[in-house]
Amino acid sequence: MGVVIRNIERPDPAIVAALGECGVATIHEAQGRTGLLASHMRPIFAGVRLAAPAITVSLPAGDNWMIHVAVEQARTGDILVVAPTSPSTDGYFGELLATSLRARGIVGLAIDAGVRDVRELTEMQFPVWSKAVSAQGTVKETIGSVNVPVVCAGALVNPGDVVVADDDGVCVVRREAAADILEKARDRVAKEDETRRRLASGELSLDIYGMRERLAAKGLRYV
Protein backbone atom coordinates (compact mmCIF):
# COMPACT_ATOMS: atom_id res chain seq x y z
CA MET A 1 0.00 0.00 0.00
CA GLY A 2 1.06 3.51 -0.64
CA VAL A 3 3.06 2.96 -3.83
CA VAL A 4 3.10 4.95 -7.07
CA ILE A 5 4.64 3.15 -10.03
CA ARG A 6 5.99 5.84 -12.30
CA ASN A 7 6.96 3.95 -15.41
CA ILE A 8 4.57 1.54 -16.97
CA GLU A 9 4.57 -0.20 -20.33
CA ARG A 10 1.91 0.94 -22.75
CA PRO A 11 0.66 -0.91 -25.84
CA ASP A 12 1.06 0.31 -29.42
CA PRO A 13 -1.27 3.32 -29.83
CA ALA A 14 -2.38 2.13 -33.27
CA ILE A 15 -3.52 -1.18 -31.81
CA VAL A 16 -5.29 0.59 -28.97
CA ALA A 17 -7.18 2.82 -31.39
CA ALA A 18 -8.16 -0.16 -33.56
CA LEU A 19 -9.46 -2.06 -30.52
CA GLY A 20 -11.63 0.92 -29.71
CA GLU A 21 -13.30 0.72 -33.10
CA CYS A 22 -14.30 -2.89 -32.50
CA GLY A 23 -16.35 -2.15 -29.39
CA VAL A 24 -16.82 -3.99 -26.13
CA ALA A 25 -19.05 -6.87 -27.21
CA THR A 26 -16.77 -7.88 -30.08
CA ILE A 27 -13.59 -7.62 -28.01
CA HIS A 28 -15.14 -9.58 -25.16
CA GLU A 29 -16.05 -12.40 -27.57
CA ALA A 30 -12.69 -12.24 -29.35
CA GLN A 31 -10.87 -12.97 -26.12
CA GLY A 32 -13.01 -15.93 -25.15
CA ARG A 33 -15.57 -14.05 -23.05
CA THR A 34 -13.09 -12.80 -20.49
CA GLY A 35 -12.17 -9.37 -19.21
CA LEU A 36 -15.61 -7.84 -18.87
CA LEU A 37 -16.25 -5.53 -15.93
CA ALA A 38 -19.55 -6.01 -14.07
CA SER A 39 -22.65 -4.77 -15.87
CA HIS A 40 -23.27 -2.10 -13.23
CA MET A 41 -20.54 -0.05 -14.96
CA ARG A 42 -22.65 2.30 -17.06
CA PRO A 43 -21.73 5.38 -19.12
CA ILE A 44 -23.00 8.69 -17.75
CA PHE A 45 -23.90 9.68 -21.32
CA ALA A 46 -24.43 7.51 -24.39
CA GLY A 47 -22.62 7.37 -27.69
CA VAL A 48 -18.92 7.12 -26.81
CA ARG A 49 -16.71 4.23 -27.93
CA LEU A 50 -13.03 4.35 -26.97
CA ALA A 51 -9.97 2.38 -25.97
CA ALA A 52 -7.03 3.56 -23.88
CA PRO A 53 -4.18 2.26 -21.71
CA ALA A 54 -5.14 2.04 -18.04
CA ILE A 55 -3.64 4.07 -15.24
CA THR A 56 -4.87 2.09 -12.24
CA VAL A 57 -5.84 3.60 -8.91
CA SER A 58 -6.47 1.66 -5.69
CA LEU A 59 -7.98 3.79 -2.92
CA PRO A 60 -10.00 3.43 0.28
CA ALA A 61 -13.78 3.81 0.23
CA GLY A 62 -14.80 7.45 0.61
CA ASP A 63 -11.36 8.91 -0.15
CA ASN A 64 -10.36 10.28 -3.57
CA TRP A 65 -6.87 11.49 -2.72
CA MET A 66 -5.11 9.04 -4.99
CA ILE A 67 -7.00 10.27 -8.05
CA HIS A 68 -5.15 13.55 -7.61
CA VAL A 69 -1.90 11.61 -7.42
CA ALA A 70 -2.74 9.55 -10.48
CA VAL A 71 -3.28 12.51 -12.78
CA GLU A 72 0.44 13.25 -12.72
CA GLN A 73 1.27 9.68 -13.80
CA ALA A 74 -1.04 9.68 -16.81
CA ARG A 75 -0.14 10.67 -20.35
CA THR A 76 -2.17 11.91 -23.24
CA GLY A 77 -4.43 9.09 -24.36
CA ASP A 78 -4.64 7.24 -21.03
CA ILE A 79 -7.79 6.36 -19.09
CA LEU A 80 -8.04 6.24 -15.27
CA VAL A 81 -9.36 3.01 -13.74
CA VAL A 82 -10.36 3.57 -10.12
CA ALA A 83 -11.16 0.75 -7.69
CA PRO A 84 -12.11 1.39 -4.04
CA THR A 85 -10.98 -1.35 -1.69
CA SER A 86 -14.50 -1.81 -0.34
CA PRO A 87 -17.94 -1.12 -1.87
CA SER A 88 -18.91 2.53 -2.19
CA THR A 89 -21.29 4.71 -4.18
CA ASP A 90 -19.80 8.05 -3.10
CA GLY A 91 -18.99 10.70 -5.70
CA TYR A 92 -15.18 10.57 -6.06
CA PHE A 93 -14.95 12.59 -9.23
CA GLY A 94 -16.53 15.72 -10.67
CA GLU A 95 -16.09 18.57 -13.05
CA LEU A 96 -12.92 20.02 -11.46
CA LEU A 97 -11.03 16.75 -11.70
CA ALA A 98 -12.34 16.26 -15.23
CA THR A 99 -10.98 19.67 -16.14
CA SER A 100 -7.59 18.57 -14.87
CA LEU A 101 -7.71 15.23 -16.66
CA ARG A 102 -8.69 16.86 -19.93
CA ALA A 103 -5.89 19.41 -19.58
CA ARG A 104 -3.45 16.50 -19.26
CA GLY A 105 -4.92 14.63 -22.23
CA ILE A 106 -6.54 11.84 -20.24
CA VAL A 107 -9.46 10.56 -22.29
CA GLY A 108 -11.82 9.06 -19.71
CA LEU A 109 -12.55 7.43 -16.38
CA ALA A 110 -13.86 4.03 -15.30
CA ILE A 111 -14.69 3.90 -11.59
CA ASP A 112 -16.37 1.18 -9.51
CA ALA A 113 -18.09 3.84 -7.40
CA GLY A 114 -19.96 7.11 -7.97
CA VAL A 115 -19.30 10.41 -9.73
CA ARG A 116 -20.94 13.81 -9.55
CA ASP A 117 -21.40 16.97 -11.66
CA VAL A 118 -22.84 14.74 -14.36
CA ARG A 119 -24.48 17.65 -16.15
CA GLU A 120 -21.16 19.45 -16.42
CA LEU A 121 -19.33 16.25 -17.38
CA THR A 122 -21.92 15.72 -20.12
CA GLU A 123 -21.53 19.28 -21.37
CA MET A 124 -17.75 18.75 -21.44
CA GLN A 125 -18.36 15.39 -23.14
CA PHE A 126 -15.88 13.86 -20.72
CA PRO A 127 -16.54 10.08 -20.85
CA VAL A 128 -17.14 8.29 -17.55
CA TRP A 129 -18.27 4.76 -16.77
CA SER A 130 -19.39 4.37 -13.16
CA LYS A 131 -21.50 2.34 -10.74
CA ALA A 132 -23.50 5.31 -9.49
CA VAL A 133 -24.14 9.01 -9.65
CA SER A 134 -23.87 10.65 -6.24
CA ALA A 135 -23.08 14.11 -4.95
CA GLN A 136 -21.62 12.55 -1.79
CA GLY A 137 -18.15 14.03 -1.39
CA THR A 138 -15.03 12.20 -0.29
CA VAL A 139 -12.08 13.01 1.97
CA LYS A 140 -8.34 13.18 1.32
CA GLU A 141 -6.89 11.42 4.36
CA THR A 142 -5.64 7.96 3.46
CA ILE A 143 -3.21 6.94 0.77
CA GLY A 144 -3.53 4.08 -1.70
CA SER A 145 -1.57 3.10 -4.77
CA VAL A 146 -1.23 4.05 -8.42
CA ASN A 147 -0.33 1.64 -11.21
CA VAL A 148 -0.60 -1.54 -9.21
CA PRO A 149 -2.88 -4.37 -10.39
CA VAL A 150 -6.44 -3.74 -9.23
CA VAL A 151 -9.71 -5.61 -9.31
CA CYS A 152 -12.26 -3.14 -10.68
CA ALA A 153 -15.92 -4.21 -10.88
CA GLY A 154 -14.85 -7.84 -10.73
CA ALA A 155 -12.13 -7.72 -13.40
CA LEU A 156 -8.36 -7.67 -12.93
CA VAL A 157 -6.80 -4.57 -14.53
CA ASN A 158 -3.03 -4.11 -14.75
CA PRO A 159 -1.47 -0.74 -15.52
CA GLY A 160 -1.01 -0.47 -19.27
CA ASP A 161 -3.78 -2.93 -20.07
CA VAL A 162 -6.16 -1.70 -22.73
CA VAL A 163 -9.55 -0.58 -21.50
CA VAL A 164 -12.28 -0.70 -24.15
CA ALA A 165 -15.55 1.03 -23.29
CA ASP A 166 -18.81 1.93 -24.96
CA ASP A 167 -22.56 1.89 -24.32
CA ASP A 168 -22.39 -1.85 -23.57
CA GLY A 169 -19.94 -1.39 -20.67
CA VAL A 170 -16.22 -1.80 -20.10
CA CYS A 171 -13.79 -4.58 -21.05
CA VAL A 172 -10.07 -4.99 -20.36
CA VAL A 173 -7.49 -6.51 -22.72
CA ARG A 174 -4.08 -7.59 -21.42
CA ARG A 175 -1.37 -5.37 -22.87
CA GLU A 176 0.63 -8.35 -24.11
CA ALA A 177 -2.39 -9.82 -25.87
CA ALA A 178 -3.62 -6.64 -27.50
CA ALA A 179 -2.31 -7.34 -31.01
CA ASP A 180 -3.57 -10.91 -30.96
CA ILE A 181 -7.00 -9.94 -29.70
CA LEU A 182 -7.25 -7.23 -32.33
CA GLU A 183 -6.66 -9.77 -35.06
CA LYS A 184 -9.30 -12.10 -33.64
CA ALA A 185 -11.74 -9.23 -33.28
CA ARG A 186 -11.26 -8.21 -36.91
CA ASP A 187 -11.86 -11.76 -38.06
CA ARG A 188 -15.03 -11.76 -36.05
CA VAL A 189 -16.20 -8.45 -37.48
CA ALA A 190 -15.60 -9.74 -41.00
CA LYS A 191 -17.61 -12.88 -40.38
CA GLU A 192 -20.40 -10.91 -38.77
CA ASP A 193 -20.69 -8.66 -41.81
CA GLU A 194 -21.49 -11.67 -43.96
CA THR A 195 -23.89 -13.11 -41.36
CA ARG A 196 -25.66 -9.79 -41.03
CA ARG A 197 -26.22 -9.59 -44.76
CA ARG A 198 -27.78 -13.04 -44.80
CA LEU A 199 -29.94 -12.41 -41.74
CA ALA A 200 -31.14 -9.11 -43.20
CA SER A 201 -32.28 -10.97 -46.30
CA GLY A 202 -34.48 -13.20 -44.14
CA GLU A 203 -32.33 -16.30 -43.78
CA LEU A 204 -32.58 -17.95 -40.39
CA SER A 205 -29.60 -18.37 -38.08
CA LEU A 206 -30.82 -21.96 -37.61
CA ASP A 207 -29.80 -22.51 -41.23
CA ILE A 208 -26.80 -20.19 -41.46
CA TYR A 209 -25.17 -21.84 -38.45
CA GLY A 210 -26.50 -25.32 -39.30
CA MET A 211 -28.14 -25.75 -35.89
CA ARG A 212 -31.09 -27.95 -36.78
CA GLU A 213 -29.34 -31.28 -36.55
CA ARG A 214 -27.72 -30.57 -33.23
CA LEU A 215 -31.00 -29.32 -31.76
CA ALA A 216 -32.68 -32.53 -32.84
CA ALA A 217 -29.86 -34.56 -31.33
CA LYS A 218 -30.41 -32.74 -28.03
CA GLY A 219 -34.03 -33.83 -28.17
CA LEU A 220 -35.87 -30.68 -29.22
CA ARG A 221 -39.38 -31.58 -30.32
CA TYR A 222 -41.62 -29.50 -32.57
CA VAL A 223 -45.33 -30.05 -31.91
Binding to a copy of itself in span 82-141, by CB under 8 A: 85-91, 94-97, 99-100, 102-104, 114, 116-119, 122, 132-137, 139-141
Rounded Cα gap, residues 221 and 9, in angstroms: 55
- Yes or no: say if 155 and 35 are a contact pair by the CB < 8 Å rule: yes
42 binds a copy of itself (CB under 8 A): yes
Nearer to a copy of itself by Cβ, of 14 and 208: the residue is 208
C-alpha gyration radius of the chain: 20
- Yes or no: say if 79 and 107 are a contact pair by the CB < 8 Å rule: yes
What three-state secondary structure class fits 194? helix
- Binding test (CB under 8 A) with a copy of itself, winner from 8, 24, 110, 163: 24
CB of 48 to a copy of itself, least distance (A): 9
Nearer to a copy of itself by Cβ, of 27 and 79: the residue is 27
Nearer to a copy of itself by Cβ, of 12 and 84: the residue is 84
| Sign (positive or negative) of CA dihedral 25, 19, 103, 71 | positive
6 binds a copy of itself (CB under 8 A): yes
Rounded Cα gap, residues 90 and 87, in angstroms: 9
Binding residues for a copy of itself restricted to 168-207, rule: CB under 8 A: 168-169, 171, 192, 195-196, 199-202, 204-206
Could you count the other beta carbons within 10 Å of the beta carbon of residue 31?
20
Determine the straight-line distance between the first and last CA of the chain, rounded to whole angstroms.
63
Nearer to a copy of itself by Cβ, of 14 and 75: the residue is 75
- Binding test (CB under 8 A) with a copy of itself, winner from 18, 143, 177, 189: 143
CB of 107 to a copy of itself, least distance (A): 16
Q: What does the DSSP 8-state code read for residue 46?
A: S
Distances from the Cα of 9 to the Cα of 44, 156, 174, angstroms: 29, 17, 11
CB of 202 to a copy of itself, least distance (A): 5
Q: Which stretch in 14-22, 80-88, 176-184 sits in contact with a copy of itself by CB under 8 A?
A: 80-88
Rounded Cα gap, residues 155 and 38, in angstroms: 8
CB of 174 to a copy of itself, least distance (A): 11
14 binds a copy of itself (CB under 8 A): no
What three-state secondary structure class fits 198? helix
Nearer to a copy of itself by Cβ, of 14 and 186: the residue is 186
